[in-house]
């Protein structure tokens, strides 16, 4: 009317009648009835697609320590923050995702922290609608993301800094299988000519994230996990050694590195045979340089002859003379796990090490000396609360490892892996004891791995807080803290009982 744009029905009865007749109605009444019915249909469609929609399946928000905060967080995911507009279609997709997400969160050790991590990741990912669609239509991807965030604060931060790694890792063919030492070495080889240490750090970080993802999905049994972490560390070490020109050094892996049983945040225990001090020092330096992507490796060279006071590099003759004439008993015990990883003198060093520890194994006071060392380690490194000290405490990791090394020395069993050495000792200590010792040791190493995985830092004692212990229990696959506590106490009791059979108390 008068070419004016309007979105309302005229109030004047005469104008209403005129409008109705122009639209083909006999009067204004049927027009108003049709308009009301049309509005109801539009409102119903709007609520179904955009607004509240069909209520999502009810999930008990009591899984959260703070249900009110969790509700606000979920609403923020769906609607965006005050400063960020979320398109209607994105909200629609999130309504499909919400019950799936909540269902995954019910299986988490810490649903509150995991939900917050998801919000952080969504914010940096950018393409919210695309991410929600991917997660809603790919339950395995949603499971992977939730489990990773729940299992590792370290991995969470890596993904938030580099969200593209989610697609890079999940689209590769390597998430479902291990990568060997040679495969890592081949991938790292191009960095040698370019002397590109930063690319080694990035590669290590990416592969460590991939390993954590395999771990949390249950694709990597514990012994395989140790092997994977060891192979990655060894490949990075050898690549760095090639860059610094440490070709004349024979590098000896010690401790858990020697046994191919590294876990998260493990140092590399190393010794160097040769005469190129500068190359060894340079190698340790480049491995340990901090960067936004972390270090290539943390190195501990204190197991060398004379420890920190001794020369960083020694000749074969010097090593042989030291272990024959001056080494302390624990130093000889330590080389049961020595494993050369590079250099021209590998076989000769193996022979020197074996001769030293096999001769020491004939000592009539072998078990007494090793027991004294166990007690010393407990006194110097324990927290003072034996129940929490799963590493140095009674029936802990140290007791198991020192028992195995004592038996290897006594019976001349050559094996750098504690797990495999236990299997080889079955005919000596009985298959039943070997089974109990092996399962107890693996339980404690699993516990250690789960604790270290959270922040990628060292851990040798349980958290004293029962709430944190419950989270640990869930992350280890237990339903509750009580069943986990029983398994924990049983593992330590079995280890200590077998230890007691061979060591005079």
Place of tokens 């108003």: 32
How far apart CA 403 and CA 385 sit, in angstroms, is: 22
Does residue 367 contact residue 503 with C-beta atoms inside 8 Å? yes
Closest CA to 263 of 239, 302, 228, 293: 228
Phi, psi of 393, rounded to the nearest 5 degrees: -70, 175
pLDDT at 209: 98
Does residue 206 contact residue 166 with C-beta atoms inside 8 Å? no
* Distance of alpha carbon 449 from the chain centroid: 8
DSSP for 316-347, written as a single string: HHHHHHHHHHT--HHHHHHGGG-EEEESS-HH
Helix (H, G, I), strand (E, B) or coil at 300: strand
Q: Which residues contact 322 (CB under 8 A, 6 or more apart)?
A: 305, 306, 314
Query: In this structure, which long-range contacts are made by residues 244-249, counting pairs with CB atoms below 8 Å and at least 24 apart in sequence?
Result: 244/279, 244/282, 244/283, 244/286, 245/279, 246/276, 246/279, 246/280, 246/282, 246/283, 248/274, 248/275, 248/276, 248/279, 248/343, 249/273, 249/274, 249/276, 249/279, 249/280, 249/283, 249/313, 249/342, 249/343
Does residue 382 contact residue 392 with C-beta atoms inside 8 Å? yes
Q: Which residues contact 54 (CB under 8 A, 6 or more apart)?
A: 48
Q: Please, which residues bridge with residue 273 across strands? A: 250, 314
Q: What is the dihedral of CA 96, 102, 107, 113, to 10 degrees?
A: 130
Does residue 143 contact residue 504 with C-beta atoms inside 8 Å? no
DSSP run (H or E) holding 313: strand 313-314
Alpha-carbon Rg of the chain, whole angstroms?
32
Tokens encoding 501: 């059979």
DSSP for 167-232, written as a single string: HHHHHSTTTTS---HHHHHHHHTHHHHHT-HHHHHHHHHHHHHHHHHHHHTT-S-HHHHHHHHHHH
Place of tokens 């991807």: 141
How far apart CA 375 and CA 277 sit, in angstroms, is: 35
How far apart CA 77 and CA 98 sit, in angstroms, is: 9
Does residue 211 contact residue 225 with C-beta atoms inside 8 Å? yes
CA angle 307, 313, 314 (to 5 degrees): 90
Q: Please, which residues bridge with residue 217 across strands? A: none
Place of tokens 């309504």: 95
Q: Which residues contact 387 (CB under 8 A, 6 or more apart)?
A: 393, 462
Asked whether the CA dihedral 425, 427, 432, 433 is positive or negative, the reply is: negative
Helix (H, G, I), strand (E, B) or coil at 244: helix
Phi, psi of 252, rounded to the nearest 5 degrees: -110, 120
Q: Please, which residues bridge with residue 270 across strands? A: 253
Strand 299-300 and strand 339-342: the pairing is unpaired
Q: Which residues does the chain have with pLDDT short of 70? A: 1-8, 20, 31, 35-59, 80-85, 504-505
Tokens encoding 306: 């004379």
pLDDT at 45: 38
Q: What is the dihedral of CA 488, 492, 493, 497, to 10 degrees?
A: 160
pLDDT at 162: 97
pLDDT at 414: 98
> 363-400: per-residue pLDDT in tens?
999 999 999 999 999 999 999 999 999 999 999 999 99
């Amino acid at each position: 009317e008068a070419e004016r744009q309007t979105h309302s029905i005229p109030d004047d009865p005469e104008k209403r009648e005129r409008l109705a007749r122009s639209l083909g109605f006999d009067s204004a009444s049927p027009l108003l009835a049709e308009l009301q019915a049309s509005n109801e249909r539009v409102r119903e469609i709007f609520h179904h697609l955009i607004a509240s929609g069909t209520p999502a399946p009810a999930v008990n928000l009591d899984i959260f320590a703070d249900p009110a905060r969790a509700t606000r967080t979920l609403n923020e995911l769906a609607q965006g923050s005050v400063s960020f507009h979320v398109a209607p279609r994105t909200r629609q997709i999130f309504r499909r995702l919400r019950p799936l997400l909540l269902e995954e969160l019910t299986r988490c050790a810490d649903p509150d922290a995991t939900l917050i991590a998801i919000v952080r990741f969504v914010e940096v990912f950018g393409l919210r609608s695309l991410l929600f669609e991917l997660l809603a239509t790919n339950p395995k991807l949603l499971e992977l993301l939730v489990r990773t965030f729940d299992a590792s604060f370290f991995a969470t931060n890596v993904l938030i800094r580099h969200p593209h790694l989610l697609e890079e890792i999940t689209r590769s063919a390597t998430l479902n299988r291990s990568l060997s030492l040679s495969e890592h070495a081949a991938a790292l080889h191009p960095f040698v000519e370019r002397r590109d240490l930063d690319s080694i750090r990035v590669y290590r970080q990416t592969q460590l994230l991939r390993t954590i993802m395999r771990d949390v999905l249950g694709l990597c049994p514990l012994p395989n996990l140790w092997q994977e972490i060891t192979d990655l560390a060894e490949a990075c070490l050898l690549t760095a050694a090639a860059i610094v020109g440490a070709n004349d050094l024979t590098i000896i892996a010690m401790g858990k590195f020697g046994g191919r049983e590294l876990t998260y945040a493990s140092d590399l225990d190393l010794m160097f045979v040769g005469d190129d001090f500068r190359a060894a020092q340079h190698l340790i330096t480049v491995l340990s340089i901090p960067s936004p992507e972390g270090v290539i490796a943390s190195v501990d060279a204190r197991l060398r002859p004379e420890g920190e006071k001794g020369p960083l590099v020694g000749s074969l003759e010097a090593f042989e003379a030291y272990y024959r004439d001056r080494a302390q008993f624990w130093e000889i015990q330590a080389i049961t796990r020595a494993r050369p990883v590079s250099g021209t003198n590998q076989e000769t060093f193996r022979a020197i090490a074996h001769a030293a520890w096999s001769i020491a194994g004939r000592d009539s006071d072998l078990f007494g000396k090793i027991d004294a060392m166990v007690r010393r380690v407990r006194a110097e490194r324990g927290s003072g609360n034996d129940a929490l000290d799963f590493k140095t405490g009674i029936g802990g990791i140290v007791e198991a490892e020192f028992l195995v090394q004592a038996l290897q020395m006594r019976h001349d069993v050559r094996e750098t892996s504690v797990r495999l050495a236990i299997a080889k000792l079955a005919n000596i200590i009985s298959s039943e004891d070997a089974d109990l010792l092996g399962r107890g040791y693996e339980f404690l190493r699993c516990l250690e791995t789960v604790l270290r995985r959270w922040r990628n830092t060292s851990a040798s004692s349980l958290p004293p807080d029962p709430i944190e212990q419950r989270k640990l229990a869930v992350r280890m696959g237990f339903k509750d803290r009580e069943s986990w506590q029983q398994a924990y106490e049983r593992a330590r009791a079995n280890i200590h009982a077998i230890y007691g059979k061979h060591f005079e108390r």
